[in-house]
Structure formats: C-alpha cells, structure tokens
C-alpha cells in the first residue's frame, strides 16, 4: 500500500477562513506524532489534505475520528488528464469489484477541465465491465453493492480504495472550551462528544463518590474517558476527578433521605462552577435530557450557575433515547455504559423548596466546596484506550 496516500477531506465550507484548515492540519500532525508515525503532508486545496505515509489504512482509520474531518480515504493519486483518470479508476474497479457484484462510478470534479464527471463515469463503467467480462459484474446506479469513487481537482485526481466517514464539525478548540461533566452513562459521553464535534475543547470532570458507588462504576467512567480522549488530537490530556463521598456522608447525617439527593445535585452544580473558575472556563456541559426527573435539575442549574457567572449547556435537549444510543455506538462507548448508579437514593418525589433551603442553611457550603476542590486528582489519559490498564492501576493505587 506504499503507493497509496491518505486523503483527508475537511468539513470546511467555502465561507470559512484559513484558520479552520490550519488548525486541523496541526491537529493531524499531533495525532500522527502521538501514534509514532513519520509522515509528510501537503495541502492541495482548501478542503483537502494529502498525506504520504507507510501504513495508509491504519492512518486513515485513526484520522477519521478527528472533529473537523468529513471523511478520510486511502487513495491512488494520478494526474487529471482524461486518459490517466480513466486508467486509474478502471484499475481500482478491477481490484475492488468481486464476481457477481453490482457497481457504479461516482466522480466529484472541481476545476476547469476539458471533460465532465459524466464523461469519466460513462467511460470507466464501460471499461470495468469489459475488464471483468464473464464474472457476472454489472452496473447499477440506484442500488450498487460497491461504489468506485474519485475526486478530481484541477491537476490532481484521487481514486478511492477505502473510505472512512468522519464526525464532521469543527476542529477541537476552534470555538472555545467548556467543562463537561462525565459519568458512566450514554448521555454524558454523547454530550461531551457533541461539544468536541462543535469545536469546543472539553475539560472532563468526574465526581468520584466512592464508597457510595462501586469501583466498577469508576472503572467504567475512566474507560469512557479514554475512548473520548482518542477523538482529541492534543499532546497531553487529563480527566479531572473530585472525591465527593465526604459530602454524601455529611448529607446522610444532617438531611432526610428525601431531601439529601436533591441537595447533593445542587452541591455538584456549585462545585462544578467553582472548578470551572479554577481552570478558567465559563461554560459547563451537562448530559441531562428532557424527562420529568431532569426538569428540576435544569431549573437548579440555571439559577445556581448564574450566581457564579457561568453558562450551562444541555446539548441532548431534543434528542430521544434511540438517537443518543446511536451516537454512543458511533463513538464506541455504548458497550461500556450503564444506567447511572445513584450515590444517594431517596424518593423520586421532589420535596418542597422550603425543605431544601432549610437543610442547605445548616451546611457550610463554601467550606464544602473548598474541601472538594482540595480533593482533585488529574488522571493522565495518555494515548487513550490502549493505555487503559495502566491508567486504572495508577488511579486506584493512588487512592488506596
């Protein structure tokens, strides 16, 4: 495969400035260096980057995870002369189309060339059928089992051998940063990924409430974080954890079982706002969706965060459970997630506001926030999932 290159098509549109492509190019370089791969890249057009590399299949698959990438492909590059393009597409078709398969050829052509996309498609389909005569191969434009794709821009033609869909969106950090609250459920993982896809740099925060949640729960959260890390083309990346079990201890002693869970959620919002201040972030992202139990969380989040001058985003509003699960499957975390374990379990019926305010008035809230921030641990997520065993060992051994 050394004669092949990797093509990265960015999701940049014509009205975006060059900073989009420059940031994406830098992040591609960072990720390839993290993978230990030597490469050279060449920007050929505003929305295309071509990379020379020894293992193009591995690289194309890895780069397809980066926000800002529309798709990647392993391609053969040729001059854009008509005869050269027809020859290369025909060669690709005879290699990629199996006996009794249907196929079609699709050509994306940009630039001033003496032929049209239809000219290339007609000629190459006829040539491929001729080359594969007797093997039951036929053209089917509506529902082909295989598509031979080519992208031509001015003097360069790229013929696709493998193609990997990317997340699209914008490069990480191009739209600011936010503090994303992570647990072991689909919602928080998908919310974080959606923010990253929109160009937000996510600082991930996890509340470790052991012994009121199991070690398995904590392991799932860290596993999800390592998978999300693989979408982030940055040299160093940490998961922030705050030990919160001591707050549950206190609430169990000072509050009724009906009130304690609601006060804990309100404390979690306050502590998240305070930690956001500490890392210089003004936006907090929550994985809450629209349901009856979340309505009070929305209200509390907006009221409490406003006192800290913070903005809370709920990116899953408008998504149904099936759509969230589809996103979770797409980013590879679905099999690691589980329904949220509750550190405090009480009645689902919300107590009246007066009971909550009265119980909170007995707490030293500022002191509790300060104590929680003193219990922060940064987990180096290294290169991601492949380093999971060492990451887990380091975290659990440091908390013995």
pLDDT tens-place string over residues 134-190 = 999 999 999 999 999 999 988 899 999 999 999 999 999 999 999 999 999 999 999
Q: Is the pLDDT of residue 371 over 60?
A: yes
- Residue 217 · residue 184 · CB < 8 Å: yes
Helix (H, G, I), strand (E, B) or coil at 286: coil
pLDDT digits over 56-109, tens only? 999 999 999 999 999 999 999 999 999 999 999 999 999 999 999 999 999 999
User: Pick from 188, 306, 309: which is nearest to 239 by CA?
Assistant: 188
Contact partners, residue 144, CB within 8 Å, separation at least 6: 102, 103, 104
The mean pLDDT of the chain is 90
Domain ranges of the chain: 5-165, 177-398
Tokens 């690709």 -> residue: 92
Tokens of 392: 């887990």
pLDDT in tens, 212-235: 999 999 999 999 999 999 999 999
- Confidence bin at 399 (pLDDT 50/70/90): low
The pLDDT value recorded for residue 400 is 53
Q: Which residues pair with 242 in a beta bridge?
A: 207, 376
Position 332 confidence tier, pLDDT thresholds 50, 70, 90: very high
Residue 292 clears pLDDT 60, i.e. is over it: no
| Intrachain domains 5-165 and 177-398 with the same fold | no
Give 83-104 as a DSSP string: HHHHHHHHHHHHHHPPTT-EEE
Superfamily covering domain 177-398: HUPs (3.40.50.620)
CATH placement of domain 5-165: 3.30.2130.30
2 CB-near residues (< 8 Å, 6+ apart): 54
At 390 the pLDDT is 96
């Amino acid at each position: 495969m050394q004669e092949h290159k990797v093509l990265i098509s960015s999701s940049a549109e014509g009205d975006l400035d060059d900073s989009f492509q420059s940031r994406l190019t830098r992040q591609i370089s960072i990720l390839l260096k993290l993978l230990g791969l030597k490469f050279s890249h060449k920007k050929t057009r505003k929305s295309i980057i071509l990379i020379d590399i020894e293992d193009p299949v591995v690289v194309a698959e890895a780069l397809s995870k980066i926000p800002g990438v529309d798709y990647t492909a392993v391609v053969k590059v040729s001059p854009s002369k008509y005869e050269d393009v027809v020859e290369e597409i025909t060669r690709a078709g005879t290699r990629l189309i199996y006996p009794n398969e249907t196929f079609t050829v699709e050509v994306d052509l940009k630039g001033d060339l003496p032929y049209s996309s239809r000219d290339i498609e007609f000629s190459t389909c006829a040539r491929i059928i001729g080359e594969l005569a007797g093997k039951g191969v036929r053209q089917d434009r509506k529902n082909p089992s295989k598509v031979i794709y080519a992208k031509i821009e001015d003097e360069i033609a790229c013929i696709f051998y493998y193609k990997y869909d990317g997340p699209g969106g914008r490069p990480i950090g191009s739209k600011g940063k936010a503090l994303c609250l992570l647990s072991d459920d689909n919602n928080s993982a998908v919310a974080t990924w959606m923010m990253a896809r929109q160009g937000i740099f996510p600082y991930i925060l996890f509340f470790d409430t052991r012994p009121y949640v199991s070690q398995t729960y904590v392991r799932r959260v860290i596993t999800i974080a390592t998978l999300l890390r693989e979408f982030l083309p940055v040299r160093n990346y940490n998961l922030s954890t705050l030990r919160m079990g001591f707050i549950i201890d206190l609430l169990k002693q000072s509050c009724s079982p009906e009130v304690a869970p609601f006060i804990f959620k309100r404390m979690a919002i306050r502590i998240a706002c305070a930690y956001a201040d500490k890392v210089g972030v003004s936006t907090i992202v929550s994985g809450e969706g629209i349901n009856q139990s979340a309505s009070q969380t929305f209200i509390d989040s907006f009221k409490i965060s406003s006192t800290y001058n913070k903005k809370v985003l709920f990116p899953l509003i408008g998504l149904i459970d099936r759509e969230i699960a589809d996103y979770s499957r797409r980013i590879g975390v679905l099999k690691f997630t589980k329904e949220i374990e509750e550190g405090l379990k009480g009645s689902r019926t919300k107590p009246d506001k007066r009971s909550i305010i009265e119980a909170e008035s007995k707490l030293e809230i500022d002191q509790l926030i300060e104590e929680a921030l003193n219990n922060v641990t940064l987990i180096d997520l290294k290169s991601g999932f492949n380093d999971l065993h060492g990451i887990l060992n380091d975290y659990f051994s440091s908390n013995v």
